[in-house]
Amino acid sequence: MKKIEWKFSMNLNLKLALIVVGLLSLWGCSTTKPVDQKPDFGKGNKIFNGYCAECHLNADNEAPQLDESDDWDVRKPQWGGVWKDHVKSGFLSMPAKGGHSELTEQDINDALYFMEVKIRSLP
């Protein structure tokens, strides 16, 4: 009888230990993972006007224009990840970060968010 009790308590301790390890690793994840900040429309507007509009709101430039729905039709399937990669590392005739290497990843996210909202609202 004693043996069974011992076995039972051993299992319980083991379970508790597993739960503690599980919780610790969850806690570890939530504190070490970089938190993805939500994109900010207002900041994106400023960044776009400061760094991107020189090409994307400038009819003299070959870049797709923010106010021209047609310019974006073929590119729309690439919202999000692909665009971000293209802006970060450059794409065909667009230099990386539009030539402004001082921009942070968050700046790019904000600018892309601003563009996406604008483009979605085009007639």
Interacting residues toward ligand HEC by CB under 6 A: 51-52, 54-56, 62-64, 75, 78, 82-83, 86-87, 91-95, 97-99, 103, 108, 111-112, 115
- Separation CA 27–CA 20 (nearest Å): 10
Contacts of 58 (CB under 8 A, 6+ apart): 65
Nearest approach, Cβ of residue 95 and ligand HEC (Å): 6
User: Nearer to ligand HEC by C-beta: 26 or 73?
Assistant: 73
Task: Indicate the residue among 5 and 60 with the shorter CB distance to ligand HEC.
Answer: 60
Q: How far is the CB of 47 from ligand HEC (least distance, A)?
A: 6
Q: How far is the CB of 16 from ligand HEC (least distance, A)?
A: 51
Is the torsion defined by CA of 34, 44, 94, 63 positive or negative?
positive
Amino acid at 62: E
* CA–CA gap between residue 115 and residue 43 (Å, rounded): 12
